[in-house]
């Protein structure tokens, strides 16, 4: 289970340190991909396979663009000896990552956010709507 919030900075080469606690859960290989939110998803190889299988279970004619969106800039990588991963320019641009970032553990994967973008996202969060969703699903 990936949990917590961690503040880090990208280095000049676009590398990001992954917290040891998250690296232990992610295994040695990780997959980075765009999210529908303005951030990067970080999956273990196994979690990305499960995610991909769910996409491929959907009708192809309806999900071609969805698959392109998630797979076109995805990258499989491994942390270096210092625990850093290199974020490809396309992913950094998509998530507006420049320097200060937040890494969030969100259960089956982690997310990498521009710190300011995430704080604004949280400011606009509608807690009442989340409660309604939980109620509708008898949580």
Average of per-residue pLDDT values in the chain: 93
Q: Tens digit of pLDDT for each residue in 58-91?
A: 998 889 999 999 999 999 999 999 999 999 999 9
Q: Tens digit of pLDDT for each residue in 12-46?
A: 999 999 998 898 888 778 999 999 999 999 999 99
CA atoms within 13 A on the CB side of 86: 8
Question: Domain 2-114 has what CATH class?
Answer: alpha beta
- Between CA 1 and CA 14, with CA 26 as vertex, the angle to 5 degrees is 125
8 Å CB contact between 77 and 87: no
pLDDT of 16 reads 96
Give the rounded percent of residues in the chain with a pLDDT score beyond 70.
100
> Rounded to 5 degrees, what are φ and ψ at 110?
-115, 165
pLDDT of 114 reads 98
Domain edges within the chain:
2-114
The residue-averaged pLDDT of 103-108 equals 95
pLDDT of 58 reads 93
Distance CA 82, CA 85 (A): 9
The residue-averaged pLDDT of 107-132 equals 92
8 Å CB contact between 16 and 101: yes
The answer, yes or no, to whether residue 138 has pLDDT greater than 90, is no
């Amino acid at each position: 289970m990936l949990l917590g919030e961690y503040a880090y900075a990208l280095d000049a080469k676009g590398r990001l340190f992954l917290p040891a606690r998250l690296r232990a859960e992610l295994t040695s290989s990780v997959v980075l991909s765009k999210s529908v939110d303005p951030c990067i998803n970080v999956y273990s190889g196994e979690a990305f396979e499960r995610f991909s299988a769910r996409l491929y279970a959907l009708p192809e004619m309806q999900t071609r663009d969805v698959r392109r969106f998630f797979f076109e800039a995805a990258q499989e990588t491994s942390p270096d000896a210092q625990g850093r991963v290199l974020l490809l320019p396309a992913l950094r641009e998509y998530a507006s990552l420049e320097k200060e970032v937040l890494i969030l553990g969100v259960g089956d994967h982690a997310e990498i956010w521009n710190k300011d973008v995430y704080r604004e996202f949280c400011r606009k969060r509608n807690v009442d709507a989340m409660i309604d969703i939980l109620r509708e699903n008898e949580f």
